[in-house]
Amino acid sequence: MESLSSILSPTAVKFSYPMLASMAASAATAPSFSLTSMASGQRRTATSKHSAKPTKTLSATTATNPVSSTTSTSTATSLPPKKVLVPIGLGTEEMEAVIIVDVLRRAGADVTVASVEPQLQIEASCGTKLVADTSISSCSDQIFDLVALPGGMPGSVRLRDCAALQKITSKQAEERRLYGAICAAPAVTLLPWGLLRRRQTTCHPAFMHKLPTFWAVKSNIQVSEGLTTSRGPGTSYVFALCLVEQLFGESVAKGIGESLLVCLDDDNSRKEEFNKVEWSFDHIPRVLIPVANGSEEIEVVTIVDILRRAKVDVVVASVEKSVQILASQGTKIIADKLIGVAAELTYDLIILPGGTAGAERLNKSRILKNLLKEQELAGRIYGAVCSSPGILHRQGLLKGKKATAHPSIVSKLTNEVVNGTKVVIDGKVITSRGLSTVTDFALVIVSKLFGHARARSVAEGLVYEYPRS
């Protein structure tokens, strides 16, 4: 079985994770590496960011993974859970924070989301409101197997200026336990703390100039002596899966990647469109995203983040009695409004996120059911991802339409299902398989609303590979 790290290497010939391979494609100037070899006590020496050749391995006492590379998910979850700290603050990048937390919890890690602010609720960089599990001060005396810093601005500055977090992370590095950072955080947070010394590092392209030239590597993922760094929201899955492999072994990382639909066949297309119509407006498009307890947080946050980057007016509405919902992997999200209040407005597009329990709760909302029916009768756009195309199906909103959905529910759809593609558009209905494919789903919506150039611009900011035409 190939390790995740060897799969991500730009020099690899055959990929088990084609999506991850494409994410790592821009790393052609970076040396190849193996997390398996690192876990067994080997590391690479430093090279210039211009080097394209693997370097010689030297013995080192780096942080090691006691779990065998053949450990299964069930075996991993039967062991004492790995403790992970994910700090967040005002302006933290929500896709990065939520994907890291979601993926690590799926792998069986005990993840603590800690606020560096005086309060637990923070507003992330694109407006999503998240609630931390605890304050960073309560984590000071704990020992973590991993500390993972999301990026975002000014979130990375808020993390940098937190003395308690600096102390925790510095101790993590001193005691040779795993730590990592993504996006702006390597340059803005770890560099001033002196935690990048003699370690090859990558970060968001906008901050690469801040890194020491000799140690900076233009790769989507970089591992160096217990430090893992990555570039941005678009590389969050590869970053999180790399951390999973170091904590739990390559077989667990592979299983989680498959469950997230990261492990897709090479011939999976980005989208297929039928009965093409223009989605154009003479005003800023308004989009409704209803959420419930059990909604899949990766999908909610990714769609909201990307659409808001494209300057769409996004309203997140809770179908619960409270605006705060508990998502499927334990993330606490604060919606903008309750669904009853949100229903007073008209929306150009309504998108249903997935999550099995969340989809069931969305399906029970009479207000949402009425909104969807009105949306169809008025000829406006609607869509769903993951398990939620099942809601559209049950309400008769996929009749005569081609669609796709999460593999677990595709067989339950009686309309024509399109396989082998991430996103399906049929007129004014759009569906996706969910989870990792939602990035493409949201970018396709941006392209339909504003044109390909806008979608590509947003993708570049995410550090996400997107076609030029």
Catalytic residues: 183
Q: In whole angstroms, give the CA distance from residue 218 to residue 26.
A: 8
Distance of CA 182 to the CA centre of its chain: 12
CB 200 within 8 A of CB 50: no
Number of C-beta neighbours around residue 141 at 10 A: 7
- Name beta bridge partners: 223: 228
CA distances from 264 to 2, 302, 371 (A): 16, 19, 34
Match 């800023």 to its residue by tokens.
284
Q: In whole angstroms, give the CA distance from residue 299 to residue 329.
A: 12
Q: In whole angstroms, give the CA distance from residue 180 to residue 308.
A: 27
Axis crossing angle, helix 297-309 with helix 94-106, rounded to the nearest 10:
160
CA distances from 154 to 123, 169, 305, 439, 469 (A): 11, 19, 16, 23, 33
Beta strands in 232-354 (DSSP E): 269-274, 286-291, 313-318, 324-326, 332-334, 337-338, 349-352
Q: In whole angstroms, give the CA distance from residue 425 to residue 432.
A: 9
CB 361 within 8 A of CB 293: yes
- Name beta bridge partners: 140: none
Beta strands in 363-468 (DSSP E): 381-385, 421-426, 429-432
CA dihedral (447, 96, 222, 193) in degrees, to 10, reads 130
